[in-house]
Amino acid sequence: MAKAKTSFICQNCGAVYTRWQGKCDACGEWNTIVEESQSGGIGGGPSQARRKGRPSALFSLSGETEEAPRIVSGMSELDRVTGGGFVRGSAILVGGDPGIGKSTLLMQAAAALARRGYSIVYVSGEEAVAQVRLRAQRLNAADSNVQLMAETNIEDILATLASNAKPDLVIIDSIQTIWTDIADSAPGTVTQVRAAAQTLIRYAKSSGTAVVLVGHVTKEGQIAGPRVVEHMVDGVIYFEGEGGHHYRILRGVKNRFGATDEIGVFEMGDGGLREVSNPSELFLGERNTQAPGAAVFAGVEGTRPVLVEIQALVAPSNLGTPRRSVLGWDQPRLAMVVAVLEAHCGVRLGQHDIYLNVAGGYRINEPAADLAVAAALVSSLSGIALPADCVYFGEISLSGAVRPVAHAAQRLKEAEKLGFRQAVFPTASAELPRLSGMTSTQIGPLADLVVRVASGLKKT
Ligand code: TYD
Ligand code: MG
């Protein structure tokens, strides 16, 4: 009898080796390589009769629908991130840390969709039907027409789906619990996760059903990460949040049918997730406007302005190498802003510890936050509080200039709407709106900002 072929596969990145080793050369993780059987494989053997297909023209006059057909949930924070609803025949991955609220979000979405008349199947591989039902009751979603299934074998799931009326949307919670007969590794290994995801994606394409795969991400990479699934699916959404904070951010990172820079904001409470339609109010909720070191950044996420407070603490250091601690922003970016302040503005931070924090556990991805960070640093170092009614935005270049950023008008309008009276931003910012009751200070070189902060940021 032929010996079953086995390979050694990294559970973090999916790299394949012929023998075991302690460290994965591809991703650098330790102890992630596991022996998996390769027997069976995916797809038919060579003896199978081949089916002949027929290619079709890219543009045909018969005119199939141009817009991807969407399944709209009516939860606007979710629909915004998916680009206007789930696309029929597509598969997306919803990833996130265990316990962040993925099952809660998808149960609420399933209920919302069912109320709009869509047929939804929720496959739970982690919880029993009774548990899922209990959660749905707590979320006020139990009365809805969502079909529940507690099943982990992919062939059984597809057989069940085929024997019932074709659903509009299938939710698989989670992909790590699903296993297939054709691969004989343990559930949760890369081979199983990849094979199960492939089968489900094929099902989505052939049936026109939208498929949502839930995947846990663990930093240790012990469970086969959904990273291997990311390349296969049409869209990837991450559900993020900081421990100790109640709100959660849904962030699109891949989308074959729409934009990827959108976020959705939710607040986790007793009754599940609540949509937050004005995140700025939430992030600016608990401000201490008298303290030095705090600056409000007027940011934009996708199509929506988001105002957040950036807090800096600059304190003399006892260490040989001063500490630089950043939460919610890029560490290298902070190093750059500090270097520019030192080199071009005469601000000495070399002997100081720096702690930088974005309020509320929010994470900023824009370089436009540079100017607000610089203002917060200078304010903390000098002990002079910035005006409470002022916002900042602008990118800092290595030459010490403050460069214009996109969406200046949108940022200013949002700040005005929320009651801010001053704005500091780069000169040469295009498309400025008329602002009633708001003074703007336009900065060329970063050194100007330092002078103004030191003099209490009075009007020009
Ligand atoms: P869950 O959706 O099970 O997370 P995941 O599927 O991502 O692992 O969410 C679990 C957490 O959410 C748990 O810590 C409790 C909290 N939670 C609430 O605070 N309120 C609620 O109404 C629900 C259902 C959960
Ligand atoms: Mg869950």
- List of E strands, 16-126: 16-17, 33-37, 70-71, 86-87, 91-96, 120-124
98 is in an annotated binding site: yes
Alpha carbon distance 263, 313 (integer Å):
28
The per-residue pLDDT for 86 is 95
- Show the low-confidence residues of the chain (pLDDT under 50): 40-41, 43-45, 221-222, 458-460
Find out whether 127 and 182 touch, Cβ atoms under 8 Å.
Answer: no
Which atom of ligand 1 is nearest to 138's Cα?
22
Ligand 1 centroid–CA 447 distance in Å is 48
Q: What is the ipTM of this complex?
A: 0.96
417 is in an annotated binding site: no
What sign does the dihedral 225-72-362-451 (CA atoms) show? positive
The per-residue pLDDT for 362 is 84
Tokens linked to 440:
């703007």
101 is in an annotated binding site: yes
What sign does the dihedral 40-42-47-48 (CA atoms) show? positive
Tokens linked to 379:
């304010």
Give, using CA atoms, the residue closest to atom 21 of ligand 1. Answer: 272
Alpha carbon distance 69, 223 (integer Å):
34
pLDDT digits 0-9 by tens, 55-67? 877 766 555 555 6
Q: For domain 70-277, give the CATH number.
A: 3.40.50.300
Ligand 1 centroid–CA 200 distance in Å is 25
60 is in an annotated binding site: no
SS (H, E, C) 378-405: HHHHHCCCCCCCEEECCEECCCCEEECC
Give, using CA atoms, the residue closest to atom 1 of ligand 1. Answer: 101
Find out whether 310 and 376 touch, Cβ atoms under 8 Å.
Answer: yes
pLDDT digits 0-9 by tens, 354-371? 999 998 778 898 999 999
Alpha carbon distance 167, 208 (integer Å):
9
Instruction: Give ion ligand 2 contacts, CB < 5 A.
Output: 103
Give, using CA atoms, the residue closest to atom 22 of ligand 1. Answer: 272
From the CA of 101, the nearest ligand is: 1
Q: For domain 282-454, give the CATH number.
A: 3.30.230.10
Q: What is the CB < 6 Å shell around ligand 1? A: 96, 98-104, 135, 138-139, 268, 270-272
Domain ranges of the chain: 6-37, 70-277, 282-454
100 is in an annotated binding site: yes
Give, using CA atoms, the residue closest to atom 2 of ligand 1. Answer: 101
Ligand 1 centroid–CA 100 distance in Å is 6
Give, using CA atoms, the residue closest to atom 13 of ligand 1. Answer: 99
pLDDT digits 0-9 by tens, 59-113? 665 555 556 689 999 899 999 999 999 999 999 999 988 889 999 999 999 999 9
